[in-house]
Amino acid sequence: MSPAHSAESIDLDNQESSRIAIIVPPPDPDARGGSGTLRKAVVLLVILSTVGFVAWKIHGNLDFSDPAGSGKKQPAGRDRAVPVMTAAVQQKTMPIYVTALGTATAYYLVTIKSRVDGQLTAVTVREGQRIKRGQLVAQIDPAPYAAALAQAEGQLGKDKAADSFARKEAERYTALFNAGVVSQETQQSLVASAGQIAGAIQADQAAIQAAKVSLDYTRITSPIDGVVGLRQVDPGNIVHASDVTGLLLVTQLQPISVIFTLPEDQLPEVRRSFVEGKMLAVEAYDRSQTTLLATGKLLTLDNQIDTATGTDRAKAIFDNKDGALFPNQFVNVRLILQRRPDTIVIPAAAVQMGSQGNFVYVVKKGDPLNPDASDTKTARNAAGSEHTHADKPAATPAAEGAGAGDKAADKSAGQAKFYVELRPIVVDLTEGSQVIVSSGLAADEQVVIDGMEKLKNGSRVAPARDVAKSSRSSSRAGDSSADSAPSGPDPKAAAAADGTSREHHHHGPQP
């Protein structure tokens, strides 16, 4: 073997003495050094490629615009409009109220019972029927009481005849006594007999009156206007005046009352209104507090506070002409303490909380300005664009880089464009689903109430008016005054802008 190679012998199955020689070349010091250098170069190249890719992705996510203002076309999706739902800022009279859970109670509740004993011959009303006061509802067999009346009248006639004879007898013996024929004792005895018979006549007359009353009680009439409940006794049964269960239950529903509780902290203001002669309005809402069932007024307060709960019971009365309230129905009560005129009101869903306080996204028409762009001509053209609103917001980093090419394309397409402005506000009071704003907003502006998760200051949006929610909020406020129609993004233009956004991302996922 040559010196450049080495041989290794392997014994196979211990058979024969033949050996197979496997020649393994020795490591070359020069070749080993070249392989290590190549390996290091490959690893370094992979690391540099990974770092470059990560840097490119970060740069692509953060920089959506052309910082040099070169007007180059931006990648699709970087400047797309975010679909949002908006509501108008309203200026109206806002009620300030206290909420409570109440129970509707029949203003009058009467259990009709029999006042005499006898057989129930007829029930003349239907279950659930509306009846008037004095209307016949049941009839008891009147025959026994008619007979008792006739007997009392017969006894009266008998006693009247005896009374007539007794008076004449007393007069005759009085004359004989004056002539000295009879004694005074005989004369006084006859006069007393005549007086007893006169007393019996009065008793007979009272018995006749009682018999007439009992006979009248066989006709059972309703003492109030109301609705008949379920019948408790059927005709043919014997009823008694001592029966615990009545014949019918009649409830008065018009008007109807609602009983609810007020915390003791609110009582001074409520009692002050009573002293001043003001009638506080009360509104009854359904379980979800979205549907106004009836409007009434506070009638009275209870004369003491419940020490266990620290509340006082209050009673309100409702006309209930449409029958929206029903006895024992649970309702959400709003006792209106005052009404604030000309207040700025927005939906509570529009208010966001940040590190600097409360804020909202206000929808503006046009493109956000970019005063820091190097192309001042482009910024000047954007300022004079016919789609730009007169009230320009401050420049924001998210609004930088709006290229002239995109503006020209949108303008040529004739589509209205909108963006949002982050506006700090001061919240005065929250009433249910509405918020009273003391500063930061003006009437008829549009605020975002849904879809603000992807928004920031200067983001382009495709707004859609929430007309139903605005109408519902206005009806819950109970303001009958005519509110001015809110002006904001044109629904047709908003729909067109929204359609532009969807068309722009036709080949990608929908927002």
- Residue 35: predicted pLDDT: 67
Domain holding 29, by residue range, is 6-61
State the total domains in the chain: 4
Split at pLDDT 50, 70, 90, the class of 176 is confident
> In angstroms, what CA-CA distances link 332 with 101, 283, 477?
5, 8, 14
The Cα 216–Cα 225 span in angstroms is 20
Of 289, 140, 150, 293, residue with least CA distance to 217: 140
Q: How many Cβ atoms are within 10 Å of 84's Cβ, its own excluded?
A: 26
CATH number of the domain at 120, please: 2.40.50.100
User: What secondary structure does DSSP assign to 409-436, as a single string?
Assistant: HHHHHT---EEEEEEE-EEEEEETTEEE
In sign, the C-alpha dihedral spanning 314, 105, 478, 347 is positive
346 vs 78: which has the higher pLDDT: 346
Q: Are residues 154 and 256 in the same domain?
A: no
Question: Is 456 inside a domain boundary?
Answer: yes
Split at pLDDT 50, 70, 90, the class of 239 is very high
Question: Is 71 inside a domain boundary?
Answer: no
Q: Are residues 219 and 280 in the same domain?
A: no
Question: Is 509 inside a domain boundary?
Answer: no
Question: Is 1 inside a domain boundary?
Answer: no
pLDDT digits (tens, 9 = 90+) for 202-224: 999 999 999 999 999 999 999 99
Q: Are residues 290 and 225 in the same domain?
A: no
Q: Are residues 119 and 202 in the same domain?
A: yes
**Residue 280 pLDDT more than 80?**
yes
Q: Are residues 138 and 180 in the same domain?
A: yes
Q: Are residues 237 and 265 in the same domain?
A: no
Mean predicted lDDT score pLDDT of the chain: 76
∠ at Cα 441 (439, 447), nearest 5°? Answer: 140
Q: Are residues 406 and 467 in the same domain?
A: yes
Last residue of a domain, one of 230, 246, 262: 246
Choice among 47-56, 139-148, 331-340, 490-499 with the minimum mean pLDDT: 490-499
Structural element, H or E, at residue 261: strand 256-263
CATH number of the domain at 371, please: 2.40.420.20
Last residue of a domain, one of 208, 229, 246: 246
Of 167, 163, 168, 241, residue with least CA distance to 203: 163
Structure tokens at 232: 């408790």
Question: Is 388 inside a domain boundary?
Answer: yes
Q: Are residues 261 and 360 in the same domain?
A: no
pLDDT digits (tens, 9 = 90+) for 94-134: 888 888 999 999 999 999 999 999 999 999 999 999 999 99
Q: Who contacts 339 (Cβ-Cβ below 8 Å, separation ≥6)?
A: 93, 94, 95, 96, 479
Q: Are residues 280 and 199 in the same domain?
A: no
Q: Are residues 437 and 488 in the same domain?
A: yes
Q: Are residues 323 and 438 in the same domain?
A: no
Q: Are residues 351 and 482 in the same domain?
A: yes
Tell me the percentage of the chain whose pLDDT exceeds 90.
38
Structure tokens at 236: 């043919």
The Cα 418–Cα 441 span in angstroms is 18
CB of 112 within 8 A of CB of 250?
Answer: yes
Structure tokens at 490: 């044109």
Question: Is 70 inside a domain boundary?
Answer: no
The Cα 298–Cα 336 span in angstroms is 10
Structure tokens at 43: 């690893």
Of 398, 392, 497, residue with least CA distance to 382: 392
CB of 327 within 8 A of CB of 229?
Answer: no
177 vs 113: which has the higher pLDDT: 113
pLDDT digits (tens, 9 = 90+) for 128-139: 999 999 999 999
pLDDT digits (tens, 9 = 90+) for 12-29: 344 444 444 444 455 555
CATH number of the domain at 291, please: 2.40.30.170
Last residue of a domain, one of 288, 320, 341: 341
> In angstroms, what CA-CA distances link 44 with 30, 39, 476?
22, 9, 69
The Cα 211–Cα 154 span in angstroms is 12
CB of 265 within 8 A of CB of 337?
Answer: no
Question: Is 305 inside a domain boundary?
Answer: yes
The Cα 511–Cα 501 span in angstroms is 9
275 vs 373: which has the higher pLDDT: 275
Question: Is 76 inside a domain boundary?
Answer: no
3-class state of residue 319 by DSSP: coil
Average pLDDT over residues 365-371: 71
